[in-house]
């Protein structure tokens, strides 16, 4: 994994032993703990996320209005199934490597320093694919708008965000 970031600053500890540690002041992003569940997709889609490691940075600081993940894609890994959101804006910023952005318009090779955004409701399905032999590292940022839905044009899958959890179904509405 590519290492970068700032030195780890110790978390603020308050004097009350009945409360837990407060969020850290700052961390080295690459040292943040990875998401414990690699994918929320149902089988057989979850296994397609092998080689993707997400480090939920925003959650470490108690952010609730939007999420921030530092994501690493191993060679040949993908960021997600190609998808579009109805209510959530998304933004990515490439930190390292050369991912290929797959959208409805085709494929675009990205490089460090490049970014892309996906407006809610645009219908532009997207994902990143690491078609190289080196790791890709990028930041992904998205809001957490209640009632969001995700559509997957290439797969028999649809999703609804209900009470903060993604609920997946086949395109005919039957549950996974």
Residue 132 falls inside a structural domain: yes
Q: Nearest CA to 161 among 76, 86, 55?
A: 86
Which domain range does residue 49 map to? 42-169
Whether 8 shows a pLDDT value over 80: the answer reads no
Residue 49 falls inside a structural domain: yes
* Segment 93-112 mean pLDDT: 98
Q: Nearest CA to 70 among 132, 127, 3?
A: 3
Half-sphere exposure of 164 toward its Cβ, with a 13 Å CA cutoff? 4
Total domains in the chain come to: 1
Q: Nearest CA to 2 among 99, 82, 87, 80?
A: 99
Structure tokens at 40: 């929320």
Structure tokens at 126: 């997207």
Buried residues in 51-64 as b, exposed as e (16+ CB within 10 A) = ebbbbbbbbbeeee
Percent of the chain topping pLDDT 70: 88
Residue 161 falls inside a structural domain: yes
* Segment 100-110 mean pLDDT: 98
Residue 149: per-residue pLDDT:
97
* Segment 46-75 mean pLDDT: 96
Residue 112: per-residue pLDDT:
98
Mean confidence (pLDDT) of the chain: 89
Give the domain CATH number at 77: 2.60.120.10
Residue 38: per-residue pLDDT:
86
Residue 15 falls inside a structural domain: no
Residue 176 falls inside a structural domain: no
Residue 117 falls inside a structural domain: yes
Write down the H helix ranges in the chain.
Answer: 57-60
Quick: pLDDT tens for 18-59: 445 678 889 999 999 999 988 999 999 999 999 999 999 999
Residue 58 falls inside a structural domain: yes
E strands along the chain, which residues? 52-56, 66-73, 84-85, 90-96, 100-103, 106-109, 115-118, 126-129, 136-143, 149-151, 158-162, 165-169
Residue 8 falls inside a structural domain: no
């Amino acid at each position: 994994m590519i290492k970068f970031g700032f030195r780890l600053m110790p978390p603020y500890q308050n004097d009350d032993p009945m409360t837990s540690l407060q969020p850290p002041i700052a961390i080295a992003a690459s040292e943040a703990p990875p998401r414990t569940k690699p994918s929320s997709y149902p089988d057989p889609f979850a296994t397609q996320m092998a080689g993707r490691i997400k480090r939920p940075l925003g959650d470490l600081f108690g952010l609730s209005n939007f999420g921030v993940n530092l994501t690493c894609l191993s060679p040949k890994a993908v960021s997600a199934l190609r998808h579009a959101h109805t209510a959530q804006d998304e933004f990515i910023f490439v930190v390292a490597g050369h991912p290929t952005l797959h959208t409805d318009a085709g494929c675009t090779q990205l490089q460090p320093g490049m970014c892309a955004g996906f407006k809610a409701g645009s219908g532009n399905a997207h994902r990143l694919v690491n078609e190289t032999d080196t790791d890709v590292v990028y930041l992904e940022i998205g809001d957490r708008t209640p009632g969001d839905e995700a559509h997957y044009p290439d797969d028999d899958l649809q999703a609804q965000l209900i009470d903060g959890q993604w609920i997946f179904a086949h395109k005919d509405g039957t549950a996974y």
